[in-house]
């Protein structure tokens, strides 16, 4: 098999794929069920390897039936878009194939990650801060809770968690499920994650937080960790960090900001006010693979106090890896991973390419586009805005002419859009009401893209109405 030929033809396929991403006449996905997909792609590994021609055909099939998340009509997830310089960084990261545990094997990558952490801490205001690239926002939240546990119970690193301490964590009822998973992994137990009420816009109520903390103390329990969400998954709401920081200081709780979705808003001078008080937090999860459009995965945990991450790790007696010859910090000594992917390089390439001002403009544009989408909904009598837009998420539903079950109709509408591939959008429930959730996460979308999305949605809805298949509510 001629590897050079495959490489050359692969780049031709990349070019074709990128051109297809820009063609709005092509579907975002050629939807097939799992059984149908098995009919067009042979997923089994056989005794003998494939030919060059078959190998190239596999590439074609993979791209043909994958969801084109770089297409500007992909508004389904909290991430989307194609970032050319970051893509180049990803390619050369895989080419170099280094691991992030030591400077010895990853000198340039270590210097890049160190610089990225320094720059990101400038935005948070962590003057003596630190950080590490991790495997995702859920992992960042886990390590934040891990750090909080080790701060309040330093001996737990060696002796394990003493359940008599009755640790309690507090998160918004709108918070990501990863906090319950973290409590499970750490032995604290998911039932000890207390959900705090939020208002109609999905914003945590500080008075409810303090009430729940007091209740725990009165019951002989130990509050130790509080999470503020910076853009909730469904509504894009930002919790009031400043007010939560006052409460955490009063009760000696670690305050973590989960910016896994909306953390990149910190780059915007115009909208950063939504994260006012971020410098008062103890840790901050930030996912550049979302609003900064870096290829998955690119996630960071920042901590306010240098040395926190090293303190999490128990004794490292591994002279076969960490030699400490050049007196240079090996990043593996503050990571719970040993082998770790080089995820900082693609972020660095992108930030170098766009610059600080360029990225600020991209983030500002996302808010402009979300605001415009909200305006479109409010102006159309067939669309209903279900909650005021908070940031990058617009939650609405379609109102048919005839009285039918609205949840059923809007779910069918969303599914029809997902399968016809013209535009893809997600949904969730606000109470018992199904909401179609549009996310503006692609830094390059414009008003024409928003208009095309709603045209596709209204056209699909009209076809569904004509079927008259829904039961009256």
167 lies in the same domain as 301: yes
The per-residue pLDDT for range 318-373, each reduced to its tens digit, is 665 666 666 677 888 888 888 899 999 999 999 999 999 999 999 999 999 999 99
28 lies in the same domain as 173: no
What's the mean pLDDT when you consider all of the chain? 93
Strand order in the sheet with 283-286: 130-134, 299-303, 283-286, 254-259, 222-229, 167-172, 193-196
257 lies in the same domain as 335: yes
237 lies in the same domain as 312: yes
- C-alpha–C-alpha distance, residues 97 and 289, integer Å: 20
130 lies in the same domain as 205: yes
Residue 25 has what pLDDT?
84
The per-residue pLDDT for range 310-319, each reduced to its tens digit, is 888 866 666 6
Residue 473 has what pLDDT?
46
Are the beta carbons of 437 and 411 closer than 8 angstroms?
Answer: no
334 lies in the same domain as 222: yes
The residue among 316, 350, 384 that closes a domain is 350
Q: What is the pTM of this model?
A: 0.93
Could you list the beta-strand ranges (E) of 11-152.
74-75, 130-134
Residue 184 has what pLDDT?
96
Residue 162 has what pLDDT?
83
How many angstroms separate the Cα of 314 from the Cα of each of 154, 283, 317, 335? 11, 20, 10, 11
| Domain CATH for 287 | 3.40.640.10
Strand partners, 393: 439
The pLDDT confidence band at residue 467, using thresholds 50, 70 and 90, is: confident
Say whether pLDDT at 262 is over 50.
yes
The per-residue pLDDT for range 165-218, each reduced to its tens digit, is 899 999 999 999 999 999 999 999 999 999 999 999 999 999 999 999 999 999
184 lies in the same domain as 330: yes
Residue 126 has what pLDDT?
97
Domain count, the chain: 2
Structural domain that includes position 190: 89-350
Say whether pLDDT at 1 is over 90.
no
């Amino acid at each position: 098999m001629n590897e050079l030929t495959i490489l050359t033809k692969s780049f031709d396929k990349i070019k074709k794929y990128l051109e297809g991403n820009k063609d709005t006449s092509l579907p975002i996905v050629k939807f097939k069920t799992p059984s149908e997909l098995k009919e067009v792609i042979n997923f089994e590994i056989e005794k003998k390897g494939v030919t060059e021609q078959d190998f190239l055909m596999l590439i074609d099939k993979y791209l043909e039936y994958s969801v084109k998340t770089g297409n500007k009509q992909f508004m389904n997830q909290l991430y989307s878009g194609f970032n050319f310089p970051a893509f180049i960084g990803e390619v050369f990261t895989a080419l170099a194939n280094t691991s992030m545990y030591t400077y010895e094997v990853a000198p340039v990558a270590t210097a890049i990650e160190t610089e990225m952490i320094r720059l990101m801490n400038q935005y948070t205001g962590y003057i003596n801060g630190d950080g590490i690239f991790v495997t995702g926002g859920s992992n960042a939240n886990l390590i934040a809770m891990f750090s909080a546990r080790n701060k309040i119970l330093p001996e737990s690193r060696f002796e394990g968690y003493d359940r008599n301490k009755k640790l309690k964590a507090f998160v918004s009822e709108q918070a990501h499920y990863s906090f319950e998973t973290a409590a499970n992994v750490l032995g604290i137990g998911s039932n000890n994650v207390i959900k705090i009420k939020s208002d109609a816009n999905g914003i945590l109520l500080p008075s409810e937080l303090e009430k729940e903390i007091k209740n725990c103390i009165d019951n002989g329990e130990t509050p130790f960790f509080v999470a503020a969400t910076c853009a909730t998954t469904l509504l894009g709401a930002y919790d009031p960090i400043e007010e939560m920081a006052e409460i955490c200081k009063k009760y000696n709780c670690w305050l973590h900001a989960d910016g896994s979705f909306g953390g990149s808003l910190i780059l915007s001078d115009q909208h950063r006010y939504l994260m006012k008080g971020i410098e008062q937090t103890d840790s901050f999860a930030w996912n550049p693979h979302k609003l900064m459009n870096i290829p998955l995965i690119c996630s960071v945990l920042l901590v306010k106090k240098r040395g926190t991450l090293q303190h999490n790790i128990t004794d490292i007696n591994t002279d076969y890896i960490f030699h400490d010859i050049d007196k240079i910090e090996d990043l593996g000594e503050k990571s719970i991973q040993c082998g770790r992917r080089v995820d900082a390089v693609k972020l660095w390439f992108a930030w170098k390419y766009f610059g600080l001002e360029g990225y600020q403009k991209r983030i500002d544009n996302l808010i402009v586009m979300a605001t415009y989408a909200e305006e479109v909904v409010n102006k159309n009598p067939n669309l209903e805005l279900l909650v005021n837009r908070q940031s990058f998420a617009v939650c609405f539903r379609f109102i048919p002419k005839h009285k039918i079950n609205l949840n059923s109709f809007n779910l069918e509408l969303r599914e029809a859009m997902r399968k016809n591939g013209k535009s893809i959008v997600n949904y969730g429930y606000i109470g018992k009401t199904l909401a179609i959730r549009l996310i503006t996460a692609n830094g390059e979308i414009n008003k024409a893209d928003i208009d095309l999305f709603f045209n596709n949605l209204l056209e699909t809805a009209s076809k569904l109405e004509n079927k008259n298949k829904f039961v009256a509510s």
